Amino acid sequence: MSLKLIIFDLDGTLIDSSVDITNALNYALEPHSVKRLTVDDTIKLVGEGITRLLERVAGDRGDAVSDSVTKRFLEHYTAHILDYTTVYPGVKETLAGLGRYKKAVISNKREKLSMAVLEGLGLSQYFDIIVGSDSTSERKPSPVPVLKVLSDLSINASDAVIVGDSNYDVDAGKAAGVTTIAVTYGYRPREVIAHADYIIDRMTDLVALIDRISGR
């Protein structure tokens, strides 16, 4: 395999943003008598993007309520996006050790918010392209964001891998024809990512795996 590109998921793979997302959700839903969420509740819901997340939490309460909740969520999350969000252990060292490869982020978080997090945590310097949920017509598990990255960087699917913590990442990668790597420390239980081509328990395991995949 002539590996040239490594695509990363963001939340649950590079960063743990669960507390800040939970706080923003609870702020957004406060006027609507919805039970307050715990971080564990949020982790089970995260992955499909803000709009779908809010729909699942608020239920069918009408477009006006939905718009209001979304607005409150974005206001709070934008203002507090890095209050408690942290980089997972070994991420910066691993990214630095993969300098010979092109790297991308594909997140189901909106592009502007994804960029703000990566810049605020000192990670943006490692990536050639950042794609959010609103960067393309479809989001993961659709292959569309993956295909966009491949096209923009002029790289064949056979020369790329995607690294993520959820079935959305694995499914998007497989549908696009790229090799899939799942991490077990993120937001999804091991059984839902068991269909990945490779599974690692720590981000620091990635460099050795990439070397093995690329035949180095």
- State the catalytic residues: 9
The answer to whether 39 and 12 have CB atoms below 8 angstroms apart is: no
| 7, 101, 162, 190 from 148: Cα distances, Å | 12, 18, 13, 28
Nearest-5° Cα angle at 139, 136 to 142: 110
Output helix, strand, coil percentages for the chain, rounded to the nearest 5: 50, 15, 40
CA-based end-to-end distance of the chain: 10
The answer to whether 139 and 108 have CB atoms below 8 angstroms apart is: yes
**DSSP 8-state class, residue 37:** P
Give the pair of three-digit tokens for residue 45.
């819901």
> β-strand 86-87 against 15-16: which pairing, if any?
antiparallel
> Per-residue b/e over 55-65, b at no fewer than 16 CB within 10 Å?
bebbeeeeeeb
- Reading phi first (left if > 0) and then psi (alpha if -120 to 50, else beta), residue 154 is in left
